[in-house]
Amino acid sequence: MAVLIDSPVWPWRGRLWSHLVSDVSYDELHAFVAAELGIPRRAFQGDHYDVPEELHAVAVAAGAQPVGARELLARLVGAGLRVRKRASAAERAPR
């Protein structure tokens, strides 16, 4: 199993968040999240789950491997599981 989690340093709505990914498959990631964290499937962000700071230690205790954000991204890309964010209309507009 290769479920990875970065540190909870990403602020959003007054909380800090981590990213949880798999460098094997989305199925592995969904199974881990459902069994260990109870985060609903609708919270999936295309290639990762956002995990609140208070669940970080729970995820690590359940087997998620803590890594830095750069390593998490590199392994996600290396596995071919990275989903690029779609450009907004403003970003696609000719200049």
How far apart CA 42 and CA 58 sit, in angstroms, is 20
Report residue 85's pLDDT band, with 50, 70 and 90 as the boundaries.
Answer: confident
Q: SS3 sequence, 6-67?
A: CCCCEEECCEEEEEEEECCCHHHHHHHHHHHHCCCHHHECCCCEEEEHHHHHHHHHCCCEEC
pLDDT tens-digit profile of 1-39?
599 999 999 999 999 999 999 999 999 999 999 999 999
What is the predicted pLDDT for the residue at 55?
A: 97
Q: Please check the confidence at residue 86 and state whether its pLDDT lies above 70.
A: no
Q: What are the phi and psi torsion angles at 18 (to 5°)? A: -110, 165
**The token pair that represents 2 in the structure block:** 């290769």
Q: Please check the confidence at residue 94 and state whether its pLDDT lies above 80.
A: no
pTM of the predicted protein model: 0.86
